[in-house]
Structure 1
Amino acid sequence: MAHGGSLGELRAANLALVIAIIEQAGSLSRADLMRRTGLSRSTVSSLVVQLIEQGVLVERLDRGTPYKGRSGRPPILLELATLTGVVAGIDVGHRHVRVALARPDSTIVLERSVILDVDDSPRESMDRVATLLDELLAESGHQREDVRGSGLGIPGPVDSDGRMTSGILPTWRGLRPADELAERTGLVARVHNDAHLGARGELAYGAARGHRDVIYVKASTGVGAGLIVDGHLVTGTTGIAGELGHVQVDVNGVMCRCGSRGCLETEVSGPKLVALLQPAYDERLTVPRVLELAQAGDAGATRALNDFGRRIGRVLANIANMLNPEQVVVGGGFGSAPALQAGVRDALDRYAQPATAAAITVLGGALGERAEVMGAIAVALDPPDAPRSGRQVSRSPVAG
């Protein structure tokens, strides 16, 4: 049962709980809902009546089977009505903007991305988001009024009030991305940093689907993490949990862009990887080229990625000892490299408690560069004010 403040808030949470449970199960009877929610018969009946009147639930024409084979008349089953409209998933990266439209069942309608210098152009980036969104809506035959929800990912810390914090993106500091989007489009978005949405994407649609305790690592321009505990994304008191790249690993290290000294990100990042290897190569290196070299068996690229994985894994070992996860999913620009994943695995085996390390599977993300936009779709599809019910709704994306 959900717990809240006012009776109105409690009812809203219980309505969202009923919707989420039926969405996960496909169809359920009123008695099933009582068993799964712990709510009373009268409360379930009242909630169901309201949802049927609102057109959210419908009663199936065919009936179910009695509970545990009991005799008697089969119960009437409830299911979600066919929903219309779309949701918007928006991924604002350091060097790109990606927007996707999806149906309420998470089927992708249209998706598009553009290259853009996001770090130094916050308002221009939000202008581009609005333009892309309008283009996709027009192409798909939808209006802004058809957008049922939206999720927005930003490559920097976003506090619980929706404000950009810290000096990681100085030109964005103090901005409220949701307000910026609403001003341009009228849409109200749920905002998270990119690593949080990467975690949600892999949990709902990717490598972490079906798992409940996961650490997602995004290794790209910087290093971030999304923490999944008991099937839920943990954002922390101020919304910035998972800043893996800003764990101090060298008290006498170089200054980090966040203002601290010796952060993991000063040693492990996409630019650092290229700078480390460039003197040994005649060609101009990029992160994708380093990954190609490693895949072809190049010793230098493989060694560098493995070392980076070990440094990430050393920090992860402490977090793993605290959270005891079942998976570490590595994504981002260079997280897909097997050599990096092997380094993470080696460090976990060496530094985490033996039983903790043995319980962890280390693997690459299944969604690649689309993890964040799929995470944005996942949060856009979350029920409003969804309670912590202990259940994670997963949906399968289908290209369409």
Structure 2
Amino acid sequence: MSKGLPDADLSAGSRTNPPGVTAPARPRSRGGSLEDLRRANRRLLISHLVVGGPSSRAELARATGLSATTVSSLVNEMLRAGQVRETRTGRPHKGGSGRPPVLVELATPPGGVVGVDVGHGHVRVAVAGPTGAVLAEDVRRFDVDATGPGTLDLAAALVRETLAVAGLDAGGVHAAGMCVPAPVDRATGTVSTGILPGWRGIDPAQELAKRIQAPVIVDNDANLGVLAEVRHGAARGHQDVVYVKLASGVGSGLVLGGRVHRGTTGMAGEIGHVQVGEDGVVCRCGNRGCLETRVSARHLLAVLQPAHDEELTVDRVLDLEASGDAGVRRVLSDAGTTIGRALADLANHLNPSMVVMGGPLGSAASVIGGVRQALDRYTQPAAAAAVQVRSGELRERAEVVGAVTMAVAMVTAGD
């Protein structure tokens, strides 16, 4: 079966809403009971532990806005229920003096979880232990856009093979997180067939769950990329982050106030389909002049190819950029400037502290330099000064790490 996490908490519900961090919960209506409020606040604490890792009670109180008394009471309940455990492994008190504080961390059952990263041209699978530590990983090239069922068959086969390498039994998989390179409709669980034409009518969470006999939760790839970079990568410690994945398409994931933001229908972050030219070429989404038509990897390779005798690949372009090829650097810098111009409006609206560039081309210094230049030029000075632009630390593994993180949250969240 498939299972998911609703907006603002980590309980069972909508398939497409993985872990986030929210403000203190309030009863949804006059009829909301005290137990409903306590349950929501327990989920809030769990979501902070998912994103922030082991934390002291005082840190949880500061992060959530809940009172110290409430946090202490909820943590004690969760300790008795086996949802969390205490540890002294951590930082000492201020200034390094005194014993380290008692930290609270998520307690997970034996067995493991699975992360599945479905990109436009690949399927990557990671098998992890109960805490999210990856035990084995594999990736295959595949034309994902053309066939949803075929992609899911391959993903299930890779899951079984990777479990065997990790030494885990299929029956020990508690949950699987999966990302797809398209928006996921929050109401139906289906994906945009304008982006993935071979996936019409498919609920990927439900279909993969049938194949691997474990609960599955699905989200957009850029959402899981930003989750991974905030939890494990370049944006650790940041609460307002924009992640841009520059690959065969262009997507972005948003963390606002420490929480992954998806919007009403799951379309938040579709920066690749912001119009940057009214008379531009028709995009695969059906609109004209989308950002993706100007800066995607396939477009940049086509622009650069006439100047080179060899057949260019993304890896070769990155090698040429690193070696100082002036033409490649100019094209990548222009692409970064175009992306940065689109991000400038977003930065004025959202005032993030970091932009993380991910995807195969996100690590290029020329791209990052172009983004920085455009933000400085087009963003309000105070907002521009506040935002860092960095390459993602997790590179091509960001999305599968995010999928694993989401699966761990799915296992530890239920109550």
Residue 174 of structure 2: aligned partner: 148
Residue 327 of structure 2: aligned partner: 300
Give the Cα separation in 2 of the matches to 1:173 and 1:113.
24
What amino acid maps onto 1:352 in structure 2?
A: T
Establish whether residue 88 from structure 1 lines up as the match of residue 114 from structure 2.
yes
Q: What is the CA distance between 1:80 and its match in structure 2?
A: 5.1
Summarize deviations over 1:16-41 as a string: whole Å, max 9, x none: 33445677574757x99788663696
Residue 336 of structure 2: aligned partner: 309
What amino acid maps onto 1:348 in structure 2?
A: L
Taking a change above 3 Å as real, the CA distance of residues 22 and 351 of structure 1, as seen in their structure-2 partners, is: closer
Give unmatched runs, 5+ long, in structure 1: 62-74, 388-400
What amino acid maps onto 1:311 in structure 2?
A: T
Give the Cα separation in 2 of the matches to 1:80 and 1:201.
17
Give the Cα separation in 2 of the matches to 1:236 and 1:330.
21
Summarize deviations over 1:227-255 as a string: whole Å, max 9, x none: 11111111100012100110011111111
Contact 1:20 1:383 in 2 (8 A): no
What amino acid maps onto 1:307 in structure 2?
A: D
What amino acid maps onto 1:100 in structure 2?
A: A
Residue 66 of structure 2: aligned partner: 38
Establish whether residue 112 from structure 1 lines up as the match of residue 104 from structure 2.
no
Contact 2:83 2:412 in 1 (8 A): no
What amino acid maps onto 2:66 in structure 1?
A: G
Residue 394 of structure 2: aligned partner: 367
Contact 1:13 1:385 in 2 (8 A): no
Give the Cα separation in 2 of the matches to 1:278 and 1:42.
61
Q: Secondary structure at the match of 1:91?
A: strand
Q: Secondary structure at the match of 2:363?
A: coil
Contact 1:218 1:331 in 2 (8 A): yes
Give the Cα separation in 2 of the matches to 1:137 and 1:208.
30
Q: Secondary structure at the match of 2:399?
A: helix
Q: What is the CA distance between 1:9 and its match in structure 2?
A: 4.9
Residue 321 of structure 1: aligned partner: 348
Give the Cα separation in 2 of the matches to 1:340 and 1:275.
17
> Residue 351 of structure 1 is aligned with which of 365, 370, 378?
378
> Residue 290 of structure 2 is aligned with which of 228, 249, 263?
263
Q: What is the CA distance between 1:380 and its match in structure 2?
A: 1.5
Give the Cα separation in 1 of the matches to 2:257 and 2:370.
26
Establish whether residue 190 from structure 1 lines up as the match of residue 213 from structure 2.
no
Residue 208 of structure 1: aligned partner: 235
Q: How does 1:114-263 map to 2 (within 5 A)?
A: 114-161=140-187, 162-263=189-290
Taking a change above 3 Å as real, the CA distance of residues 314 and 37 of structure 1, as seen in their structure-2 partners, is: closer
Give the Cα separation in 2 of the matches to 1:357 and 1:43.
36
Q: What is the CA distance between 1:263 and its match in structure 2?
A: 0.7
Give the Cα separation in 1 of the matches to 2:381 and 2:171.
53
Give the Cα separation in 2 of the matches to 1:169 and 1:18.
36
Contact 2:108 2:411 in 1 (8 A): no
Taking a change above 3 Å as real, the CA distance of residues 135 and 261 of structure 1, as seen in their structure-2 partners, is: same
Contact 1:18 1:37 in 2 (8 A): no
What amino acid maps onto 2:115 in structure 1?
A: G
Give the Cα separation in 2 of the matches to 1:347 and 1:34.
38
Give the Cα separation in 2 of the matches to 1:225 and 1:78.
32
Contact 2:175 2:411 in 1 (8 A): no
Contact 1:212 1:228 in 2 (8 A): yes
Q: What is the CA distance between 1:173 and its match in structure 2?
A: 3.2
What amino acid maps onto 2:235 in structure 1?
A: A
TM-score (normalised: structure 2)? 0.81
Q: Secondary structure at the match of 2:260?
A: strand
Taking a change above 3 Å as real, the CA distance of residues 297 and 26 of structure 1, as seen in their structure-2 partners, is: closer
Contact 1:13 1:386 in 2 (8 A): no
Bigger Rg, structure 1 or 2:
1
Give the Cα separation in 1 of the matches to 2:312 and 2:322.
15
Give the Cα separation in 2 of the matches to 1:254 and 1:282.
26
Q: What is the CA distance between 1:175 and its match in structure 2?
A: 1.6
Contact 2:107 2:412 in 1 (8 A): no
> Residue 379 of structure 1 is aligned with which of 406, 412, 415?
406
Give the Cα separation in 1 of the matches to 2:59 and 2:361.
45
Contact 2:251 2:272 in 1 (8 A): yes
